[in-house]
Structure 1
Amino acid sequence: MAVEQPKIQELTLEDVMGDRFGRYSKYIIQERALPDIRDGLKPVQRRILYAMNQDGNTYDKAFRKSAKSVGNVMGNFHPHGDSSIYEAMVRLSQDWKLREPLIEMHGNNGSMDGDPAAAMRYTEARLSKIAGEMLQDIDKKTVDMVLNFDDTEYEPTVLPARFPNLLVNGATGISAGYATEIPPHNLGEVIDAVLYLMNHPKAELADLMDFVKGPDFPTGGIIQGIDGIKKAYETGRGRIVVRSRTQIMPLKGNKSQIEISEIPYEVNKAQLVKKMDEIRIMKKIEGIAEVRDESDRKGLSIVVELKRDVNAEGILNYLFKNTDLQITYNFNMVAIYHQRPEHVGLKTIISAYLEHQRDVITRRTQFNLQKAADRQHIVQGLIKAMSILDQVIATIRGSKDKKDAKANLVAKFAFTEIQAEAIVTMQLYRLTNTDVTQLEKEAAELAQAIETYQLILAEPKELDKVLRRELKAIQKAYPSKRFTEIQSEVQELKIDTEVVVPQEDVVVMISHDGYIKRTSLRSYTASDAEDNGLKDEDFPIYLAKNNTLDHLMMFTNLGHLIYRPVYEITDAKWKDTGEHISQTIGLAADERITWVFSFKDLKATGKFLVATNDGYIKQTDFADYTPGRTYKTRASQFIKLKTDASQVVTVQYLPTVPDGTLVLVTEHGYGLRYDLSEVPTVGAKAVGVKSMDLRDDLIVRATIAGENDLLAMITQRGSFKQMKVSDVPVTSRARRGVQVLRELKSNPHRVADYVLIPAGQTGVALEVMTDRLKSHSILSDDHPVSARYSNGSFVVDTDTEGIPVTIQVHPVPLTV
């Protein structure tokens, strides 16, 4: 006997995976995650409603344990986990998720705070009254029935759905390649639109939108953006803004509070309250005193109590923008239409519903007609039997048994088999005169009913009359006013900085090593000015009184610009070190913040003068340096440096065109002066133009100077010299310039730094800083104004104090 060889197919993994995933996708699209366009239900929801109805668990009977219903659904129709069935059941009972809940539940069925429902063994459920409308006439063969998963029972492929559930209760779901997000709508409005489309089959979307204004969320709220609604109703996709219903209520003592009575659909209330309270705790916005959730069984209520004299509207706008107090709702109206998932618009949904209802009424009428015809046939037989009653009785008495009696009746009096069965099973009390009258009355009623049914089936207009009457009855039985207000335009949320930041004068300090902080005037005045929290070798490069609404621009020696609004700088006590700039923005190891400018707003119209040590210079408009959206984590580039050794030596803000000329001095003691108009205005990342003919030299600094100003220089050998700016002749850009120091053959002087002393200013105190971080003070009046070829006089002992690095006008103590 030959051994049967195993049937092995050789298939590629791609084909197998593609085939299996294709089948799985088809299943979860059609049989799990997407609603049917006709009844608006997913299979699990349909099975829950059908099983509960079959079990008699309806609105007019007592509640039953949810676990019993879940067990019935799982055992008979839905072979999946009990938790998924129970979760679907719970959602059908939540009046903040569904506009018209289909299940009533006793016990904890969850909350708007995201709390889970109690276990199914604790809760009780039954169908709601309106769910009965979804199942009405299901026993009259109104919908197709199919065998369940184990072929032991039949289940419906769709429910009769006597109201447009897909629009009324909406749907949400995710499947393979498809997702759906259909919002809830108002029952009365949707039925009005259905009735209008029945009367006007060629109605446009605009006509239907006269009735269905937009979604009607069970949580209320305010919808903004009628264009988004139109687009969604046309294409199935659209976007609207949903915001909470709020009002600002005044309190005693110039205080106020924001009262929130409705929040957007599917927003978690507890998380919303937590987020608003975090804003208060983190001080992202000033002016919120307390956030309270005062919701109770009477309704939702969230209170945001504000401090004295704050801009309540501004704070509300901030909360709209930064919390789920306002959300963007995206329509994605996908439903199973003719066995396929499709994006559907408003008219398509209503048309599909109308088609389904006409089919349901047709099937119901055919069922009723058949039932009436069958009954009419029996009644006619009974009336005929009554008219020859004595003969019928004699025939029955003369028969052997029931079967023989039926056969004799058929043979002698031409009764049908069905009529004969009815006669022989008739009870004796029905042989009274009264019953004859009732039978004749019933015959007349049946004849009338059959005529009506036949008319409905023959005339579409008559069928529509029935449908119209039934829809109006539902509309009347379940009246519901609109919860959600619709506004045509989306309100733009503009948040003034003044709203989120209290105006306050503070002391801002930025140190040489990159520490930055702001301190309240109270903390500053209560402390010793020298006790600034910096390390011994560190010192402030910027110390000023600013307002929290001011804007700081910090320029580094390697061409990077760091922007910070003052209110975003870390608030610290004067004795604290503050935050290092590297905590938010990475700088190179040898990079230092060197120039800091403060502005009241970002609308300044001036220019920045920027010069590098390798001989490039430019002007750039203020507007080119305004911050981008990544300013918190990235420094922007304010000049492109030519080489790795290049450094910026000058950044000067010029609010207007200055009177003086541009002066540049090099390390080797050359000075050049020319008009600022020779320096072009270029973009932020440009290199600029050649400022000076350097050869092997480097520029120390560039500055705008008046004709009678003085240049005060310090050399690397510790020599100090003052000379007139006018000693450097005005020529043109990119020249070598003239010597401002006498060149020595051995150990020549090199300019370490210089400052400008304005004309006529006397008694100027200067401070020289050495490479050993030692400070040396100089009084300008103690030194004469020297000639161009002089090397000045020695003031710093380089052996003991170190080599001079910078010179500056002695900082005046900050007074607040």
Structure 2
Amino acid sequence: MNKATQERVQVMRLEDIMGDRFGRYSKYIIQDRALPDVRDGLKPVQRRILYAMYKDGNTYEKPFRKSAKTVGNVIGNYHPHGDSSVYDAMVRLSQDWKLREPLVQMHGNNGSIDGDPAAAMRYTEARLSAISGLLLKDIDKNLVDFVPNFDDSMTEPTVLPAFFPNLLVNGATGISAGYATDIPPHNLGEIIDAVIYRMNHKQCALDDILTFVQGPDFPTGAIIQGEQEIKKAYTTGKGRIVIRSKAEIEPVRGGREQIVVTEIPYEVNKANLVKKIDDLRIDKKVEGIMEVRDETDRNGLRIVIELKKDVKSEIVLNYLFKNTDLQISYNINMVAIHNKRPVLMGLMDLIDAYIQHQKEVVTNRSNFDLKRARERQHIVEGLIKMVSVLDEVVQIIRHSKDKADAKKNLIQAFGFSERQAEAIVMLQLYRLTNTDVTALEKENEELTKTIQELTAILSSETKLLKVIQDELKQVKKQFETPRRSVIQKHIQEIKIDETDMVVKEDVMVAITKDGYVKRTSLRSYNATKSDTSTMKEGDELVAKLQLDTLQTLVMFTNRGSFIYLPVFKLPEFKWKDIGQHVSNLVTMDSEEKIIAVHAVSNFKTEEYFFFTTASGMVKKTRLSDLEVTRYNRAMVAMSVKEDDELISVIRCTFMNDVIMVTKNGYLLKFSDDEITPTGLKAMGVKGIQLGSGDQLIKVVLASVNDEILLLTQRGNIKKLKVKDIALSTRNKKGCLGIKTIKSNPHQFVDCIKVLPKQEVSILTIDGITKLNTILKPVDLNSVGTNMVDAEVFKFVVEDIE
């Protein structure tokens, strides 16, 4: 490294370099990029676009010009950045769904509310809108400060005169380093009335201003809810309002209805909104929508949501308000550059800053006009004086050597000033033919009057404010439009009972032990040749039920959990499909198995669930305890020890005897009065004492006149009357219910309560054997009747007719 280079090297800490550079960058994007100026409501790129169009004569009373020419002028003279960023900013200034009063008029495709991009700048044409003329009016009269542009070849304004309060009328949105702004658009007439009132009542309160300004007025209309939030935002600069689409419910043929949306919230993409509503229909997140159509045309926005017959339209509409952008929250955050600093400002602060700007602008204009008037009056006085000595003046000019000599001679002869002499010698000869002293004297009088008026304005703040108010009134008269957004006092809370949106329909439901669930329409089920549900190898069916979509499934697992799942939430499949695992619908342990399923229509009944574990623990819990509002995960139905598991869940409505059956042939009967109803997380109480090597195989709830069937592994079946089993108390071993045999003893594998007209079969290793014989009750010591010569697993019970 040579010495010269070495002298230029600076040794600095990386943290210092990063902090310094990012600090400079942050200052730049805060002050000169992303945030609007409180005085004219424009960001630098917007201001440069408007000023470039003004300087190029591309104003509203002249023909349109290619947008590419304006973009080129902006980049070449004022804004050395990408052409796309300049063109995008220019397009936004022309979009009447983004700006309450568009500042640019554009011919051609300038985008759409569907988010479509504008045509390329070589195709579109643009010019300033009429109201933009007010932002730039009289800017050549030194009303605002000018600074050199990026290459010092010309100057540009630091702010525009802005003869209407553009920041509040058109709003602003932007994000910079550490700051963001979201200022909503307002109605021009309301804001001007508020500004004028504030000028006349300097001590007024915000409530006085709010008699003029109802709230934001979005170009897309819609309904704004939350008067208190609007007031809070106008007080502090921050607040959250709700914007709701304007929708009506219309009747259509066939006794059906449709929802018609004519206005949507500000800055919502209509195409995405329509797609979202249609996705809800396709995914069946909301029942009852038949079709969604976008019927928007040149007459205005129109989204039609056609509903099925007998669907509650208000409930569907509320669901769409809650789950789509038909209703949004808009966070007001009124940050603007004030005195070169980003400031969070309330409505009064914004109005005061605009009034101060207008006072400075009108003062500068008055000074400029006053100077011009005095200069012109001085010239006119010289011309009047010249008329009285016109022949002598002509004679002196004719005998002068040149222009400078003529001026010198006139000054010496008649006492003209330098400027008066310059004006006289510059007069064209034809002007001498009709130089009328009366016209000059009249002009002199008008100039004197103008000077007096301007002097009065500059010397009196009252007259200065009167000028500003008169001009604002003219703006209001010319450009005021009716309010588009409707203000509603309160934010309406949307409460939706999903069942209200469900169309009642009979369906077939299947649930397997491994947790696969499916819902099938009866039409699909009846069209299937086999009524056997398709399952994975090794899985088994826990429940096959015909239900309606308004019922609720309560599924219990071997770990004591329960899953609450409305039928309409079940995924719809063909009957021959396996279905979907329940873990896709609710969060649960992958190792858990479904052991019992119950369908509930009403949880407010005097019913109970009777729980039994493999170790003989029992518990009774009210059905109403299992009703929940949030069901995104499996919940505890009974606390079960690690080495235990839930094996039985029985639904009961009245007092019964509890009969517990063990593998080694023991029967224990006790009254369920001994078991007090407990909550979900309770562990329960001991029901039966199990001997060594014994295990509980079944629990039956039966009345004194009922009969039960007992099945052994050797294929024997015996029928017992419940009254023949001795009544005991819980936590006992019970009595032996089968004759003891030393060689190959009988062991119970299943037990059921016999119901009238109930068809019973036996599941064996060879398949299912139907039980045709009507058995007679026997005593406890009997081994029953042998029905099959095969290994036996359990009873198979058909549905009761």
**Structure 2 length-normalised TM:** 0.92
What residue number does 1:812 align with? 799
- CA shift at 1:676, angstroms? 3.5
Partner deviation per Cα, 1:742-763 (whole Å, 9 max, x = no partner): 6666765544332234xxx667
The answer to which of 172-181 and 152-161 deviates more is: 172-181
Asked whether the 8 Å contact 1:512–1:593 carries over to 2, the reply is: yes
Asked whether the 8 Å contact 2:758–2:799 carries over to 1, the reply is: no
The change in CA–CA distance for 1:202 and 1:785 in structure 2 (over 3 A counts) is farther
What residue number does 1:364 align with? 365
What residue number does 1:637 align with? 636
Partner deviation per Cα, 1:777-796 (whole Å, 9 max, x = no partner): 44684243323xx2623636
The answer to which of 46-55 and 247-256 deviates more is: 247-256
CA distance in 1, matches of 2:511, 2:760: 21
Query: Is 1:802 aligned to 2:791, yes or no?
Result: yes
What residue number does 1:679 align with? 675
Asked whether the 8 Å contact 1:662–1:675 carries over to 2, the reply is: yes
Task: Spell out the pairing of 1:77-96 with structure 2 (5 A cutoff).
Answer: 77-96=78-97
Asked whether the 8 Å contact 1:497–1:549 carries over to 2, the reply is: no
Query: Is 1:688 aligned to 2:684, yes or no?
Result: yes
Task: Spell out the pairing of 1:51-130 with structure 2 (5 A cutoff).
Answer: 51-130=52-131
Asked whether the 8 Å contact 1:765–1:780 carries over to 2, the reply is: no
Task: Spell out the pairing of 1:108-507 with structure 2 (5 A cutoff).
Answer: 108-431=109-432, 434-497=435-498, 499-507=500-508
- Helix, strand or coil for the counterpart of 2:291? strand
- CA shift at 1:64, angstroms? 0.7
Query: Is 1:712 aligned to 2:705, yes or no?
Result: no
- CA shift at 1:602, angstroms? 5.1
CA distance in 1, matches of 2:237, 2:495: 30
- CA shift at 1:677, angstroms? 4.7
The change in CA–CA distance for 1:471 and 1:602 in structure 2 (over 3 A counts) is farther
- CA shift at 1:451, angstroms? 1.4
Matched AA of 1:769: L
Asked whether the 8 Å contact 1:146–1:157 carries over to 2, the reply is: yes
- Helix, strand or coil for the counterpart of 2:123? coil
What residue number does 2:21 align with? 20
CA distance in 1, matches of 2:475, 2:505: 62
Give percent identity, aligned residues only.
53
Asked whether the 8 Å contact 2:715–2:790 carries over to 1, the reply is: no
The change in CA–CA distance for 1:574 and 1:137 in structure 2 (over 3 A counts) is same
- Helix, strand or coil for the counterpart of 1:93? coil
Asked whether the 8 Å contact 2:713–2:792 carries over to 1, the reply is: yes
Query: Which residue of 647, 662, 669 maps to 2:645?
Result: 647
CA distance in 2, matches of 1:257, 1:211: 37
The answer to which of 674-683 and 154-163 deviates more is: 674-683
CA distance in 2, matches of 1:124, 1:173: 26
What residue number does 1:659 align with? 655
Asked whether the 8 Å contact 1:215–1:484 carries over to 2, the reply is: yes
Matched AA of 1:191: I
- Helix, strand or coil for the counterpart of 1:509? strand
- CA shift at 1:440, angstroms? 1.6
- CA shift at 1:106, angstroms? 0.9
CA distance in 2, matches of 1:102, 1:762: 84
The change in CA–CA distance for 1:535 and 1:20 in structure 2 (over 3 A counts) is closer
Query: Which residue of 765, 769, 780 maps to 2:763?
Result: 769
Matched AA of 1:775: I
CA distance in 1, matches of 2:591, 2:116: 55
CA distance in 2, matches of 1:349, 1:501: 50
Asked whether the 8 Å contact 2:257–2:309 carries over to 1, the reply is: yes
What residue number does 2:618 align with? 617
- Helix, strand or coil for the counterpart of 1:216? coil
- CA shift at 1:603, angstroms? 4.8
- CA shift at 1:562, angstroms? 2.4
CA distance in 2, matches of 1:564, 1:796: 40
CA distance in 2, matches of 1:764, 1:430: 125
- Helix, strand or coil for the counterpart of 1:18? helix
Partner deviation per Cα, 1:375-429 (whole Å, 9 max, x = no partner): 2222233333334445544554554432233334444544332223223323344
The change in CA–CA distance for 1:240 and 1:614 in structure 2 (over 3 A counts) is same
CA distance in 2, matches of 1:573, 1:331: 50
Partner deviation per Cα, 1:518-547 (whole Å, 9 max, x = no partner): 333334445556454457976543233211
Asked whether the 8 Å contact 1:649–1:702 carries over to 2, the reply is: no
The answer to which of 594-603 and 387-396 deviates more is: 387-396
- Helix, strand or coil for the counterpart of 1:122? coil
Corresponding residue pairs, total: 798
RMSD, matched Cα: 2.9
**Structure 1 length-normalised TM:** 0.90
Partner deviation per Cα, 1:66-125 (whole Å, 9 max, x = no partner): 000000000000010000000111111111111111111111111112111111111111
CA distance in 1, matches of 2:585, 2:603: 22
- CA shift at 1:38, angstroms? 1.2
CA distance in 1, matches of 2:470, 2:591: 85
The change in CA–CA distance for 1:57 and 1:749 in structure 2 (over 3 A counts) is same
CA distance in 1, matches of 2:458, 2:416: 30
The change in CA–CA distance for 1:537 and 1:811 in structure 2 (over 3 A counts) is farther
Matched AA of 1:648: L
Asked whether the 8 Å contact 1:763–1:780 carries over to 2, the reply is: no
- CA shift at 1:674, angstroms? 4.2
Partner deviation per Cα, 1:326-385 (whole Å, 9 max, x = no partner): 222222222112222222222221111111111111111111112212222222333333
Asked whether the 8 Å contact 2:245–2:265 carries over to 1, the reply is: yes
Matched AA of 2:768: S
Matched AA of 1:784: P
Asked whether the 8 Å contact 1:169–1:184 carries over to 2, the reply is: yes
- CA shift at 1:155, angstroms? 0.7
Asked whether the 8 Å contact 1:220–1:484 carries over to 2, the reply is: yes
CA distance in 2, matches of 1:259, 1:763: 55
- Structure 1 unaligned segments of length 5 or more: list them: none
- Helix, strand or coil for the counterpart of 1:194? helix
CA distance in 2, matches of 1:330, 1:605: 49
Asked whether the 8 Å contact 1:361–1:467 carries over to 2, the reply is: yes
The change in CA–CA distance for 1:372 and 1:38 in structure 2 (over 3 A counts) is same
CA distance in 2, matches of 1:498, 1:67: 57
Matched AA of 1:144: D
The change in CA–CA distance for 1:3 and 1:268 in structure 2 (over 3 A counts) is closer
CA distance in 2, matches of 1:211, 1:121: 44
- CA shift at 1:296, angstroms? 1.9
CA distance in 1, matches of 2:798, 2:329: 53
CA distance in 2, matches of 1:435, 1:10: 79
- CA shift at 1:663, angstroms? 3.7
Query: Which residue of 775, 790, 801 maps to 1:782?
Result: 775
- Helix, strand or coil for the counterpart of 1:463? helix
Matched AA of 2:92: R
- CA shift at 1:246, angstroms? 2.2
Matched AA of 2:159: V
- Helix, strand or coil for the counterpart of 1:482? coil
CA distance in 1, matches of 2:531, 2:745: 38
Matched AA of 2:352: S
The answer to which of 427-436 and 187-196 deviates more is: 427-436
Query: Is 1:754 aligned to 2:751, yes or no?
Result: yes
The change in CA–CA distance for 1:724 and 1:572 in structure 2 (over 3 A counts) is same
CA distance in 1, matches of 2:756, 2:146: 105
CA distance in 1, matches of 2:249, 2:33: 45
- CA shift at 1:607, angstroms? 3.6
- Helix, strand or coil for the counterpart of 2:563? strand
Asked whether the 8 Å contact 1:505–1:546 carries over to 2, the reply is: yes
CA distance in 1, matches of 2:728, 2:603: 36
- CA shift at 1:273, angstroms? 2.4
- CA shift at 1:622, angstroms? 3.6
Matched AA of 1:660: N
- CA shift at 1:308, angstroms? 3.7
